[in-house]
């Protein structure tokens, strides 16, 4: 399998993976939306929170964002163009506002996933290189937070304050700390996690053992990032830039939508002809007329949707007519 980025323009989402040694080391999903980092949009300053430094703006589509700094001479009620620095991020029950900064140029869309990566397109026919590299397993672990590694496992939890990894396993504490820190570093990269990240390793009394665990993370997680040392309780904190939602944030914020888009991907790869998609009622309800029409265009056949209340949201399946 060739190393490098692969890209798919899916129905309802774009997706990309970076393959190294036959495995996925980075994965991204991008949903349609106007607030990607790099977009420049018109805004109105609606509140000055700290003169000259920070304020609240209303974007052209009605969403609110945090502006820093406030340009000289711009007062409440004034309009200006702003660039998205951080897209809106999901939190429990709400979205954290986007962050923006003043922009000199005219409005422009954000660069899309393919433009940012300059990735090779992955055709919907032929070998499924995404699946061969472990795409479905990766999506499942991002949804559940359960990540296995030789000798142990990680439990990943998304919280408003930080993403937390709990390390457990059958190895002795020093070996488990090294393996767990390495697995956590690989998961951070693979899922595109940003912001504050905590890793709860086994308690280690010896400083050399704690340093070895930290070095194991350093070896697999590319810069830039900052981290603490492993403290006496086995806790290590990592901080990475956070401009976009991570893969787990996207999937866990809308698991039904994620299941519907995954089902459409399988349907597109089923080959030309009439298709029947059977899935849980909420998944079927999530497939919009636009998505349905897009699948019919791509496969060249009619599409039938069948709801089955006995199915879990991840258990949908595709049947292709042989006629």
| Structural domain range at position 78 | 40-102
Return the CATH number at 57. 2.40.50
Q: What phi and psi, each to the nearest 5 degrees, are found at residue 21?
A: 60, 30
- Mean pLDDT (the chain) is 93
Residue 246 located in a structural domain: no
Strand ordering across the sheet containing 317-320: 303-307, 275-279, 317-320
Residue 97 located in a structural domain: yes
Q: What phi and psi, each to the nearest 5 degrees, are found at residue 118?
A: 50, 50
- pTM for this model (two decimals): 0.91
The residue-averaged pLDDT of 76-105 equals: 88
Rounded CA-CA distance 190/186 in Å is 6
The residue-averaged pLDDT of 289-297 equals: 96
Q: Quick one: 59 exposed, middle or buried, by C-beta within 10 A (0-12, 13-18, 19+)?
A: buried
68 & 182 share domain: no
How confident is the model at residue 70, as a pLDDT? 94
Rounded CA-CA distance 8/220 in Å is 26
18 & 57 share domain: no
- Could you report the per-residue pLDDT of 9-34, keeping only the tens digit for each? 999 999 999 999 999 999 999 998 76
120 & 26 share domain: yes
Residue 167 located in a structural domain: yes
How confident is the model at residue 64, as a pLDDT? 93
23 & 73 share domain: no
Q: How many separate domains does the chain show?
A: 4
264 & 149 share domain: no
Residue 245 located in a structural domain: no
148 & 199 share domain: yes
């Amino acid at each position: 399998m060739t190393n490098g980025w692969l890209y798919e323009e899916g129905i309802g989402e774009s997706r990309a993976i970076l393959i190294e040694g036959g495995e996925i080391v980075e994965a991204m999903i991008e949903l349609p939306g106007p607030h990607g980092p790099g977009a420049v949009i018109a805004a109105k300053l609606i509140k000055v929170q700290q003169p000259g430094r920070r304020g609240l703006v209303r974007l052209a589509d009605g969403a609110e964002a945090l502006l820093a700094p406030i340009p000289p001479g711009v007062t409440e009620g004034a309009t200006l163009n702003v660039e998205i620095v951080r897209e809106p991020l999901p939190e429990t029950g709400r979205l954290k506002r986007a962050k923006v900064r003043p922009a000199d140029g005219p409005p422009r869309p954000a660069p899309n996933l393919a433009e940012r990566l300059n990735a090779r397109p992955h055709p919907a026919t032929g070998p499924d290189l995404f699946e061969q590299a472990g795409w479905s397993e990766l999506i499942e672990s991002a949804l559940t937070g359960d990540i296995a590694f030789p000798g142990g496992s990680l439990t990943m939890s998304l919280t408003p304050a930080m993403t937390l990894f709990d390390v457990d396993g059958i190895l002795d504490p020093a070996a488990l700390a090294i393996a767990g820190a390495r697995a956590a570093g690989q998961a951070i990269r693979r899922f595109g996690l940003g912001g504050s990240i905590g890793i709860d390793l086994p308690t280690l009394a010896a400083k050399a053992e704690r340093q070895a665990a930290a070095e194991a993370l350093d070896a697999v997680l590319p810069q830039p990032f900052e981290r603490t040392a492993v403290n006496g309780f086995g806790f290590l904190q990592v901080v990475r830039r956070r401009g976009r939602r991570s893969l787990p944030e996207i999937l866990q914020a809308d698991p039904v939508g994620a299941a519907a888009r995954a089902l459409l991907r399988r349907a597109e790869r089923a080959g030309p002809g009439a298709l029947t998609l059977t899935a849980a009622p909420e998944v079927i309800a999530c497939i919009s007329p636009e998505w349905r029409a897009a699948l019919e265009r791509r496969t060249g056949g009619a599409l039938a949707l069948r709801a089955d209340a006995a199915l879990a949201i991840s258990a949908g399946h595709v049947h292709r007519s042989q006629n």
